[in-house]
Homo-oligomer: A and B are copies of this chain.
Amino acid sequence: MSGHAQTIAAPLSADRWQPQLVLHTLASSPAGLDLFEEIGTVLPVRRDQEIYGQDDPADYYYQVIGGSVRTVKLMADGRRQVSEFLMPGDLFGFDELDRHDFAAEALENALVKRYSRRVVEALAQRSMPLAQKLRHLTIAKLRRAHERLLLLGCMTASERIATFLLQMSDRAPASAKAWIALAMSRRDIADYLGLTIETVSRTLSVLRVDGTIGMLKKTRIEIRDRAALECLASEPRH
């Protein structure tokens, strides 16, 4: 169970990537992870492939089954903002009005389950518990957005990085929280935290040098001094 994200994250070349390799992970996904076991279609998505585009009509709701996904917004001048990093079990694309505000792209080869919006809403129309659940999910997203507003509004670069690392660590599969597999690039992290690539890189280097974190292969980070990170993350700037 802890290994299925890794299976997908394993460095498979795009050409050699085979759906069935990841499909078996569906069976091993935690019970109850699916919103509706019986409906919805599982789709394999390649690294960097778009699941839906910005301003696309919001005809489907999605859930990450394996791998990971980012939602991004692009501005006219090329500026980019990453809104969320989504892990197995996370739902996305369901709190839109008519069109998606963001595009969704796979961070790595992934599996997503797609639900027809029409069907889900029809079900919700009939089932109050489901309607409640949808609302609570949206409220949870809103709360997350508020946390990020705090981060972007009040925190310094090192505080943002510390917060990000702890967040990633907490969301990682229950095993081995001390080791974080970062499926996203430095650019993704930068655009998520409102920083530049260089600042992200420099800040991580500082943490590595002072022994707070360990880094092997750029994409694997070890938390050596969680207390130090928590201290950084807890205090807004000044």
Contact with B along A153-180 (1 / 0, CB 8 A): 1100000000000000000000000000
Residues in B with CB closer than 8 Å to A135 are: 131, 134-135, 138
A24 within 8 A of B: no
| A81 x B142 contact (CB < 8 A) | no
| B77 x A236 contact (CB < 8 A) | yes
Query: In the assembled complex, how far is the CB of residue A49 from the closest CB belonging to chain B, in whole angstroms?
Result: 23
Query: In the assembled complex, how far is the CB of residue A185 from the closest CB belonging to chain B, in whole angstroms?
Result: 17
Cα–Cα distance between A101 and B149 once the two chains are bound (Å): 13
Q: A97-B136, A135-B131 are in contact. Are A149 and B145 (CB under 8 A)?
A: yes
A194 within 8 A of B: yes
Cα–Cα distance between A154 and B72 once the two chains are bound (Å): 13
A230 within 8 A of B: no
| A235 x B77 contact (CB < 8 A) | yes
Cα–Cα distance between A41 and B191 once the two chains are bound (Å): 44
**Chain B residue nearest to A135 in the complex (CB):** B135
10 smallest CB-CB distances across A and B, nearest first, come from A152-B152, A153-B194, A145-B145, A79-B236, A135-B135, A138-B138, A142-B142, A75-B236, A131-B131, A152-B153
22 cross-chain CB contacts under 8 A: A76-B234, A77-B236, A79-B238, A81-B150, A81-B153, A81-B154, A95-B138, A95-B142, A96-B139, A97-B139, A97-B140, A101-B146, A128-B131, A134-B135, A138-B139, A145-B145, A145-B146, A145-B149, A148-B149, A149-B149, A149-B152, A153-B194
Binding site for B on A (CB under 8 A): 73, 75-77, 79, 81, 83, 95-97, 101-102, 125, 128, 131-132, 134-136, 138-143, 145-146, 148-150, 152-154, 191, 194, 234-238
